Chain A
Amino acid sequence: MIELENAAYSYGGGELLSDISLRLQPGSFHFLTGPSGSGKTTLLKLCYGALIPTAGHVRLFDTDVRALDRDDIALARRRIGVVHQDCQFLDHLTLADNIALPLTVSGRDTINEVANLRELTSWVGLKSRADALPPELSGGERQRAALARAVIMSPDVILADEPTGNVDWEMSQRLLQLLLELNRMGKTIMIATHDLALIRAAKSHVQARVLRISNRRLQLAGADL
């Protein structure tokens, strides 16, 4: 689905990531870990076409990103749900509208999806907050809403960047449960996190591969976790 082959990325002052090779197989569950600033977010951005590798290849659904034009990238993003680190909502729209935004911009009739939307909102436990504006939400509510928005298009892949970054342990467990549930429904999941406890908690439920960025390279982390 998403494939990196010897991909490298440099922001100008030396390479941040070098020689990264990775294949996200359908239904797989990956954790991406590493110290802050090691390039986790950059690697995720390579995976949803927000960045073009400075060397090597990234293939989204079997097409090299360099061969994709802007509209192709937009269409690919409809198949990749992303939970951004800072959530990225439109503050003038209600929570429900924000969750439905991917449907709106892809021209789908949101009226037909109302039931779907309501189900999803209650699945992430935000039914009572549907009419709230994003600035009125707590950190945990924002993270759950971001997850709901990431999955509303029923994407093949879900990429989450520090989804439990600013929520308490109980809330991060709830988010993890949601992601595990999505994985059981056959979605490919990759979570960038430096929360090792979260990874341990997940490992008891799912066959998860843990990737670590260290020294600009991607390594498969061992059983030490």
Chain B
Amino acid sequence: MKARLIAILGALSALLAGDKQADRVVPPTGFTAWLTLFSAGAMAFLAVFSMALSLATDRLADRWGEELARSSTLRISAPEGQLQAQTDAALRVLETTPGVASARALTLQEQQELLEPWFGPDLPIERLPIPRLIEIIETNQGFDTEGLRLRLTAEVPGAVLDDHTRWRRPLVRAASRLRLLGWMSLLLIGGTMAAMITLAANAALSANAQIISVLRLVGATDGYIAQAFVRRFTLRGLIGAAVGTVLGCLAILLLPSTDVAGGFLTGLGFQGWHWLWPLLIPVLAAVVAFGATQLAARGTLRNMA
């Protein structure tokens, strides 16, 4: 596999270094060359965004997974006077429940902070019948939710267990679906580019049918003739995609920064070494262009005398 990859890369670089004479034998086509460059550029630009989307949802899914995976909340509502007793009872139950790493009642101060966005800082929380919250951190194995619920109803009637997995799961599922869509878009972009280059190469081959037949008559092999076309389209794919990638990365750099707004949309982008990912796009584009033109040229040449 590795040796084959090296062989392909070697062939590619030899191709790009090129044979000037072979290049001259087929006359250059001004207009369609620009179209190919433009398509490659546009596809690369889109690919940068799909890639950013995939990587961002990837991060998002990870974060949700990690932050929410192993925490639940126990809410205790009880009449005045029983609240502390029930809280203590609940903590005792939790301490003896397998799968609970730690359980901690939030302090009044913390509860006030949680409510502050809704009621303002001046709410006299200690005078209101506000339920008590207990934060539960699970171990890796997690606990048996149903079993815990049963024990709690018996011993702490005022307790309600909020299992975060309930609303976390659809979110994580949505995130991974989104990530799948991102990668699928990348595949579709690659396929579309292959299709466009195949069409362009076929057009170029038929436009040059006369030249190809002369070359065959004077003893050119199919490989030689194909190379003249393959080289051109590979270069166009590479250059077009490189420009498109640079523009796409610039567009992503210019997005408003995450810190200011927060949230998912502005989290779209690359972080750290992920910035290396877009470098792959021009290389892949060149490989796609190489393969598409090679196939198109070989196919067309086989049908010529």
Q: Could you tell me if A88 and B302 are in contact, using CB atoms closer than 8 angstroms?
A: no
- Would you call B214 and A90 a contact (CB within 8 A)? yes
Distance A149 CA – B219 CA, assembled complex (angstroms):
12
Q: Which residue in B21, B215, B222 is a CB contact (below 8 Å) of A71? A: B222
Inter-subunit contact A74/B219 (CB<8 Å) = yes
* A189 at the binding interface (Cβ < 8 Å): no
10 interchain residue pairs of minimum CB distance: A105-B220, A77-B219, A78-B219, A74-B221, A102-B218, A92-B27, A88-B214, A71-B221, A104-B21, A101-B218
Residues of chain A from 142 to 164 with CB closer than 8 A to chain B in the complex = 149, 153
A149–B211 Cα distance when bound, in Å, is 15
Give B1-51 interface residues, CB cut-off 8 Å to A.
Answer: 21-22, 24-25, 27
Provided the pairs A90-B211, A93-B25 are in contact, do residues A149 and B222 lie with their beta carbons within 8 angstroms? no
**Are A105 and B218 closer than 8 Å at their CB atoms?**
yes
A29 at the interface (CB under 8 A from B): no
* B215 cross-chain contacts in A, Cβ below 8 A: 101, 105
Cα A70 to Cα B281 in complex, Å, equals 36
Which residues in window 195-244 of B have CB below 8 A to A?
A: 211, 213-224
Q: In whole Å, how far is A148's beta carbon from the nearest beta carbon of chain B?
A: 12
A106 to B21, CA, bound (A): 11
Closest residue of chain A to B225 (Cβ to Cβ) is A105
Task: Please state if B218 and A77 are interface contacts (CB–CB under 8 Å).
Answer: yes
Binary CB contact string for chain A from 14 to 31 against chain B (1 if under 8 A, 0 otherwise): 000000000000000000
A101 to B217, CA, bound (A): 10
Within 8 A of A (CB), among B242-284: none
Q: At the interface, yes or no: B305 with Cβ under 8 Å from chain A?
A: yes
Q: Does chain B have a CB within 8 A of A107?
A: yes
- Whether the Cβ atoms of B217 and A107 lie closer than 8 Å is no
Report the bound CA distance from A45 to B245 in whole Å.
Answer: 51
Q: Is the CB of A75 within 8 A of B21?
A: no
A74-B216, A75-B219 provided; 10 other pairs, C-beta below 8 A? A75-B221, A77-B217, A90-B25, A90-B211, A92-B27, A101-B215, A101-B218, A102-B218, A105-B22, A105-B220
Query: Which residues of the other chain, B, contact A149 by a CB distance below 8 angstroms?
Result: 218
> Is the CB of A84 closer than 8 A to any CB of chain B?
yes
| Contact across chains for B305 and A50 when beta carbons are under 8 A apart | yes
Q: A84-117: which have CB < 8 Å to B?
A: 84, 88-90, 92-93, 97, 101-102, 104-107, 110
Are B27's CB and A70's CB within 8 A? no
A97 to B218, CA, bound (A): 13
Contact status A102-B302, CB under 8 Å? no
21 example contacts (A-B, Cβ-Cβ < 8 A) are as follows A70-B221, A71-B223, A74-B216, A74-B219, A75-B221, A77-B216, A88-B217, A90-B211, A93-B25, A97-B24, A101-B25, A101-B215, A102-B219, A104-B21, A104-B25, A105-B22, A105-B219, A105-B224, A106-B219, A107-B224, A153-B219
Taking the closest CB of chain B, its distance from the CB of A1, in whole angstroms, is 16
Which residues of chain A are within 8 angstroms of B25 by Cβ–Cβ distance? 90, 93, 101, 104-105
- Return chain B residues, CB-CB under 8 Å to A70: 221-222, 301-302
Instruction: Write the nearest CB–CB distance from A15 to chain B, whole angstroms.
Output: 20
Q: In the complex, A106 Cα to B22 Cα: how many Å?
A: 10
Q: What CA separation (Å) do A200 and B217 show in the bound complex?
A: 30
Give the docked Cα–Cα distance between A84 and B224 (Å): 22
Chain B CB within 10 Å, residue with most, of A71, A84, A90, A93: A90
Q: In the complex, are the beta carbons of B217 and A82 less than 8 A apart?
A: yes
Min distance, Cβ A171 to any Cβ of chain B, angstroms: 23
The answer for the CA separation of A178 and B211 in the assembled complex, in Å, is 27
1/0 per residue B274-305: CB within 8 Å of A?
A: 00000000000000000000000000011001
